[in-house]
Structure 1
Amino acid sequence: MIKLIASDLDETLLSTDRTVSLKNREYIQKARDKGVKFVCATGRGYSSIQTTLEEIGSKDMEGEYTISYNGGVITENKDNRLIHFEGLDFDTAEKLFFNGLKYDVCIHVYTLETVWIYNIFDGEIDYLNGRMAFTAFDDKNLDFLKGQEIIKVLYVNTDRAYLNQIEQDMVHMTEDLDVSYSSNRYLEFNKKGVNKGAAMHILGNLLGIRKEEMAAVGDNYNDLSMIRAAGLGAGVANTVETMKPECDVILETTNDEDAIADLIRQYVL
């Protein structure tokens, strides 16, 4: 019996208009009525998804949880209470930033309170509009962030092959990092061992929920750790093709076709 569903947001739970469909909301509530925890698991920060949490009825709710920053943070939704945190040390974050300066990329640096973005471009502004707030900066170093908790760094380019080449160039410096891709535009770096799957198990242990009682659903490589770690690992129909063989099931519906409702109807209810 499934007791916890961990769901990615962008291109999975959220429709292209960045909202949760009425049918998805209905079935999430049906699952919740049966005692199933529905956990948003996102690469974004928890503060940026409050509208989504409100849409699904779990904003500021005690006993409801969120996995954010690709697993770097777990919060209870009530007062966004921090349960678990694992970030990058400053030296590692700074090395990633300096390395990014060599490439044609936009660079995000995530702290608990702010997403700092270097070299932002119009296409990225359009993509982030309605998803999360950010602060652009043009410093050539991260000295202004010394003493702050840094959770992850990512590079942005809409050419996936270009990002793949960057990852290959960086093999010498990523041994102690978790590297993943998302939204077909992001190359992401977290602390080694920090990913959505690890966070899902930390939360499961806190709630007394076993792997076999977990389902996870996503569409891209930053979701793969939780898809592999769950008793049922599902991909939406729009999952990147090369990742589909890694999933236990591929849904017949996309994020614009109520895929989460489809998952809950078939495998939870």
Structure 2
Amino acid sequence: MTEKKLIAIDLDGTTLHSDGVTISDYTKAIFKKVEQKGHQIVIATGRPYRMAIDIYQELGLESPMINFNGGMTSIPNQKWAHTVSKHIDKALIFDLIKHQHTFKLDFLAAEYRRKFFINALDKADPGIFGVESFLPHHQLKIEKLNANPNAVLLQTRITDKISLADKMDEHFKNQVNVSAWGGPNGILEVVPKGVSKASALKHLLKINKQERSDLIAFGDEHNDIEMIKFAGTGYAMKNASATLLPHADQQLKWTNDEDGVARQLQEMLL
């Protein structure tokens, strides 16, 4: 396997250890060696830009970064001709507020590249948004929604959040994509229709003049399904959700806490 590869890495549950912060020195060293071989490593995450940029910098990447599950593709700190930033009509937020009881939502939040607004500060964990505590300017108010958001984050009390995601897709007449986060919390994310990690990676392959067979992807959760299916080779982590496994070419022998992504790349490319 000597062709130049585009390597898409999810963050939470995949590249990062389970604390959602730690990247081992081993992983950093392997990534650097892989890049020196001419391969490109691209973060593909549901996290907003503001919650992924520190990780991008810690890894020393210079490649594009995919945020909001494909809603934004950019090269940090560069004016890049191929930047993509897709948005949701803010009218959807007002509709969600109207149906908050129907969907049993604790909160909903409008997400932008550098900021967010949430409608129920007392019902949310600030850590989900990458802050230690909420401040008054985080409160969602109609007058603050002067631009369409990149995504909307929700927390539901309904146990089967994947079924709820399907119901919400129907409610919005398939005008948006609704996907569930991994883990025990009832977090759902709403992004523009047709947006996924796979759609963003298709954009990058076209720019690079590469084929799908050149794409290697690593993931662990429901929001990685399209990416894993689209990739020439899609790997599910040892700790991956059962919903992802049927779509992966292979399940790794290692978890995220065992640096599974780096171990697999070392075996394949170094």
What is the TM-score with the length of structure 1 in the denominator? 0.87
Q: Which consecutive unaligned segments of at least 5 residues does structure 1 have?
A: none
Once the two structures are TM-superposed, the CA of residue 48 in structure 1 deviates from its matched residue by 2.1
Provide Cα deviations, 1:125-156, integer angstroms capped at 9, x if missing partner: 244457999863154xx44203x131111212
Once the two structures are TM-superposed, the CA of residue 98 in structure 1 deviates from its matched residue by 3.2
Report the identity percentage: 26
Structure 2 counterpart of 1:228, which letter? K
Structure 1 counterpart of 2:67, which letter? S
Within 2, Cα distance between the matches of 1:131 and 1:138? 18
Q: Which consecutive unaligned segments of at least 5 residues does structure 2 have?
A: none
Which residue number corresponds to residue 7 of structure 1? Answer: 9
What is the TM-score with the length of structure 2 in the denominator? 0.86
Equivalent positions of 1:1-269 (< 5 A) are: 1=3, 3-17=5-19, 18-58=21-61, 61=62, 64-79=63-78, 81=80, 83-100=83-100, 102=102, 103-121=104-122, 124-129=125-130, 136-137=138-139, 139=141, 142-146=142-146, 148-157=147-156, 160-161=159-160, 163-170=161-168, 171-184=170-183, 185=185, 186-269=187-270
Task: Identify if the C-alpha distance between structure 1 residues 263 and 97 changes in structure 2 by more than 3 Å, giving closer, same or farther.
Answer: farther
Instruction: Give the secondary structure class of the aligned counterpart of 1:100.
Output: coil
Structure 2 counterpart of 1:83, which letter? T
Out of 109-118 and 151-160, give the one that drifted further.
151-160
Within 1, Cα distance between the matches of 2:167 and 2:121? 23
Task: Identify if the C-alpha distance between structure 1 residues 259 and 150 changes in structure 2 by more than 3 Å, giving closer, same or farther.
Answer: same
Instruction: Give the secondary structure class of the aligned counterpart of 1:88.
Output: coil
Out of 168-177 and 2-11, give the one that drifted further.
168-177
CA contact 1:7–1:13 (8 Å) conserved in 2: yes
Task: Identify if the C-alpha distance between structure 1 residues 244 and 87 changes in structure 2 by more than 3 Å, giving closer, same or farther.
Answer: same
Instruction: Give the secondary structure class of the aligned counterpart of 1:153.
Output: strand
Within 2, Cα distance between the matches of 1:85 and 1:128? 20
CA contact 1:100–1:155 (8 Å) conserved in 2: no
Within 2, Cα distance between the matches of 1:193 and 1:178? 7
Within 1, Cα distance between the matches of 2:211 and 2:53? 27
User: What is the aligned-residue RMSD (CA, Å)?
Assistant: 2.5
Within 2, Cα distance between the matches of 1:168 and 1:79? 37
Within 1, Cα distance between the matches of 2:195 and 2:267? 30
Structure 2 counterpart of 1:37, which letter? Q
Provide Cα deviations, 1:200-233, integer angstroms capped at 9, x if missing partner: 1101111112110001111111111111111011
Q: What is the count of residue pairs matched by the alignment? A: 261
Structure 2 counterpart of 1:189, which letter? V
Within 1, Cα distance between the matches of 2:113 and 2:140? 20
Within 2, Cα distance between the matches of 1:228 and 1:168? 19
CA contact 1:48–1:132 (8 Å) conserved in 2: no
Task: Identify if the C-alpha distance between structure 1 residues 151 and 27 changes in structure 2 by more than 3 Å, giving closer, same or farther.
Answer: same
Provide Cα deviations, 1:168-217, integer angstroms capped at 9, x if missing partner: 54323241111211233321111110110000110111111211000111
Instruction: Give the secondary structure class of the aligned counterpart of 1:23.
Output: helix
Once the two structures are TM-superposed, the CA of residue 35 in structure 1 deviates from its matched residue by 0.8
